[in-house]
Amino acid sequence: MRAVVQRVREASVSVEGETLGRIEHGLVVYLGVGRGDDESHAAYLAEKIAHLRIFEDDRANMNRSVLDVGGAALVVSQFTLYGDCRRGRRPSFDAALPPAEAEALYERFLAALAGHGVPVQAGRFRARMDVASINAGPVTILLDSARTF
């Protein structure tokens, strides 16, 4: 699994004008599910994100997690995180898990993150979504459950 994690002041996701999720202070997590991912990958990333120290403490050092600051997470599925652009100009998405399997792991990730005590809002899997956010910092972190980066 891959995640792009952004620290935000606020964020929302909507589909066809209907707001599905909205958070104030917290994280936007764009989540992609790849071939070979399983529940252990979802659990690993959920734990990592819940405890990721990217919020500032009283000395302006990034020492606090979303849990420490009472924030929430807005999670948006994004298979394009597995886009491979090394050849040609059109991305290949062969490394992304097929949708039916990916949705189950996406849902498992949502439950695991909530299980760590993070309030979770989410988009709609496979929908064309509009995501609005105000990045704080900005702070953007890339995570991969295979630890390739």
The answer to whether 26 and 71 are in contact (CB under 8 A) is yes
- Asked whether the beta carbons of 149 and 142 are under 8 A apart, the reply is yes
pLDDT value of position 148: 87
Q: What is the 3-state secondary structure (H, E, C) of 121-148?
A: EECCCCCCCEEEEEEEEEEEEEEECCCC
Residue 19 among the catalytic residues: no
From 6, 19, 55, 80, active-site residue? 80
80 tagged catalytic = yes
* Region of residue 143 (phi > 0: left; psi between -120 and 50: alpha; otherwise: beta): beta
pTM: 0.97
The active-site residue out of 6, 55, 78, 121 is 78
The strand ranges marked E within the chain are 2-15, 18-23, 26-32, 55-56, 62-64, 72-77, 120-122, 130-144
| Terminal-residue alpha carbon distance, the chain | 12
**Is residue 78 flagged as an active site residue?**
yes
Domains of the chain: 2-144 (3.50.80.10)
Rounding to the nearest 10 degrees, give the CA dihedral for residues 65, 127, 143, 115.
40
Residue of 79, 140, 148, 149 with catalytic role: 79
Buried b (16+ CB within 10 A) or exposed e, 38-70: eeebbbbbbeebbebebbbeeeeeeebbbeeee
Residues 4-40: tens digit of each pLDDT: 999 999 999 999 999 999 999 999 999 999 999 999 9
The predicted model gives 94-101 an average pLDDT of: 97
Residue 149 banded pLDDT, cuts 50, 70, 90: confident
- Residue 33: its pLDDT value, please? 98
